[in-house]
Structure 1
Amino acid sequence: MRNVRSAGLAAIAALVTLAVAGCAPKVTAAVPAPLATEEPVVRTDATPTPTATPAAARTATALPAAAFKATPTPTPSGEATMDAAANAAAAAKKAAADKKTAGDRIAPANTDPRCGYGTVMCVSKAARKLYFMKDGQIVTTVDVRFGKESDPERRTREGNFLVFRKEVQWTSNLYGSEMPYAMFFSGGQAVHFSSDFAARGYNGNSHGCVNVRDKAALAAIFDQVEVGSTRVVVY
Structure 2
Amino acid sequence: MRNVRSAGLAMGVILTILAVAGCAPKVTQAVPAPVATEQTMVRADVASSPTPTPSPSASAQRSAKALPTVAFRATPKPTPSGEATMDTAANAAAAARKAEADKKAAAARKAAGAKPVAAPANTDPRCGYGTVMCVSKAARKLWLMKDGQIVDSVDVRFGKESDPERRTREGNFLVFRKEVQWTSNLYGSEMPYAMFFSGGQAVHFSSDFAARGYAGNSHGCVNVRDKATLAAIFDQVQVGSTRVVVY
User: Quick check: TM above 0.5?
Assistant: yes
Distance in 2 between the 1:91 and 1:133 partners?
Answer: 16
| Cross-structure match for 2:89 | 85
How far apart are 1:77 and its partner, in Å? 3.6
Distance change >3 Å, CA 75–CA 216, structure 1 → 2: farther
Q: Does 1:142 align with 2:139?
A: no
| Cross-structure match for 2:140 | 128
Q: Does 1:202 align with 2:202?
A: no
| Cross-structure match for 2:78 | 76
Gaps of 5+ in 2: 1-75, 111-115
So what's the TM-score if we normalise by structure 1?
A: 0.67
CA deviation vs aligned residue, 1:99-118 (integer Å, no higher than 9, x gap): 11102754221100000000
Q: Which has the higher helix share?
A: 2
Q: What SS class does the counterpart of residue 114 from structure 1 fall into? A: helix
Equivalent residue pairs, number: 162
Distance change >3 Å, CA 168–CA 196, structure 1 → 2: same
Q: What SS class does the counterpart of residue 140 from structure 1 fall into? A: strand
| Cross-structure match for 1:233 | 245
So what's the TM-score if we normalise by structure 2?
A: 0.64
Distance in 2 between the 1:84 and 1:200 partners?
Answer: 31
CA deviation vs aligned residue, 1:7-28 (integer Å, no higher than 9, x gap): xxxxxxxxxxxxxxxxxxxxxx
Q: What SS class does the counterpart of residue 166 from structure 1 fall into? A: strand
The counterpart of 2:197, out of the listed 162, 178, 185, is 185
- Identity across matched positions, percent: 87
| Cross-structure match for 2:103 | 99
Distance in 2 between the 1:132 and 1:215 partners?
Answer: 15
Q: How does 1:209-228 map to 2 (within 5 A)?
A: 209-228=221-240
- Decide which structure has the larger Cα Rg and report it: 2
How far apart are 1:78 and its partner, in Å? 1.1
| Cross-structure match for 1:152 | 164
| Cross-structure match for 1:111 | 123
Distance in 2 between the 1:147 and 1:201 partners?
Answer: 13
Distance change >3 Å, CA 132–CA 75, structure 1 → 2: farther
Distance in 2 between the 1:75 and 1:215 partners?
Answer: 30
- Paired AA for residue 97 in structure 1: A
Distance in 1 between the 2:88 and 2:187 partners?
Answer: 22
How far apart are 1:75 and its partner, in Å? 6.0
- Paired AA for residue 78 in structure 1: P
Gaps of 5+ in 1: 1-73
CA RMSD of aligned residues (A): 1.3
